[in-house]
Amino acid sequence: MCFFLGSGGPWVGRCGVRARVSPDTSLLNASSHDNFWQRSSPNVHRQASDWSESGIPSRRSSDKEGRHVSAPLHEQLYERMLSRIRSGEWPEGERVPSEQSLIAEFGTSRGPIRQALATLRAQGAVDGGRGAPPRVKRMVPTQPFQTFISFTEWALSIGSTPGQRVIEAARRPASDDIAAGLGIGQGDPVVEIVRLRLLDDAPAMLERSAFPLDVGRVLLAADLDTGSIYQTMTAHGLAPTRARHLFDAVAADPLDAEVLAVPLGSPLLRVRRMAWAEDGALVETADDRYLPTMATFAVENTSDSRSALTRETGRR
């Protein structure tokens, strides 16, 4: 597992497992790159200015005066190679074509090819180096940290199919942790929902969420095996507009291990979340546990702007 700060929210046999949880037990314990180089259909004609000298479609942007500026060649090569990996044209585990063959194919020099391959290595798309030929690695989907969207919307944004399986949905008195997370009194009624989240039919994350009763009633009446919690909340004017996320690593507990089909104690990426509605009311507290092979989180910042990401000690 890794934080990409420099491998989400998120991401079957055994999916029908039902967990027994006693009423007084808390369940909360413990954009993808554009494929700019896609081949156009036979009836579509490109202008000559849309192509670089190497025969690669130019990714163009505009400068401050509105003039078109092509992306550097090595960036175009990187995008094209990345698209081949994502499409399966370059399968996982296979060797990347040699530098000589890439030079011949793209009609360019060795420098841009090596820069593109270096970027692929840095992004975790290929491995190898120091004389070892690069091989294609499995691409772990990345969710931008600064983008607040639901798991369903994120999955769709990367061209994948989201899914979910409800493990439990129940009304019960709030435990100490949930009461603190929602800013309510201990024992106040809440709705707790546990779901297995799927990415292209593969288990990706176990989601434990708790909601105030007014929000939870709406969700209990919805079909959460096929619908999105956030879309349902939005449709009822309860959409979160702000959230706080805490990231850490935890060992899989018995429920995690059973539902995610991993050995007990396996490392999981945990994201704890508190979400607020536009009026400032807390509408959700959650504990999401991701398989580290299925999702990563990324944050980008610049020297002239502050990031919303902060570091906190894991000590209590």
- Tell me whether residue 230 is in a domain: yes
| Residue among 19, 73, 77 nearest 193 (CA) | 19
- Tell me whether residue 84 is in a domain: yes
The structural domain count of the chain equals 2
Q: Tell me, what's the pLDDT at 223?
A: 92
> What DSSP designation does 61 have?
E
98 lies in which domain range? Answer: 63-136
Residue 246 and residue 103 in one domain:
no
Residue 149 and residue 293 in one domain:
yes
Asked if residues 269 and 247 have their Cβ atoms less than 8 Å apart, the reply is yes
Residue 155 and residue 266 in one domain:
yes
Q: Is 39 helix (H, G, I), strand (E, B) or coil?
A: coil
Q: Tell me, what's the pLDDT at 307?
A: 57
Residue 80 and residue 164 in one domain:
no
CB-CB neighbours of 315 under 10 Å: 4
Q: Tell me, what's the pLDDT at 220?
A: 95
Whether the pTM exceeds 0.85: the reply is no
Span 251-308, pLDDT tens digits: 999 999 999 999 999 999 999 999 998 888 999 999 999 999 888 776 666 555 555 5
Residue 114 and residue 240 in one domain:
no
Q: Tell me, what's the pLDDT at 310?
A: 58
Supply the CATH number for residue 93's domain.
Answer: 1.10.10.10
Residue 196 and residue 280 in one domain:
yes
The first and second tokens of residue 190, run together, are 């809440």
Residue 152 and residue 286 in one domain:
yes
Mean pLDDT in order along the chain per 10 residues (316 residues): 35 34 38 32 34 42 53 89 87 90 93 91 77 76 56 79 94 95 95 95 95 96 89 89 89 97 96 90 95 78 57 51
- Tell me whether residue 273 is in a domain: yes
Supply the CATH number for residue 246's domain.
Answer: 3.40.1410.10
Residue 71 and residue 105 in one domain:
yes
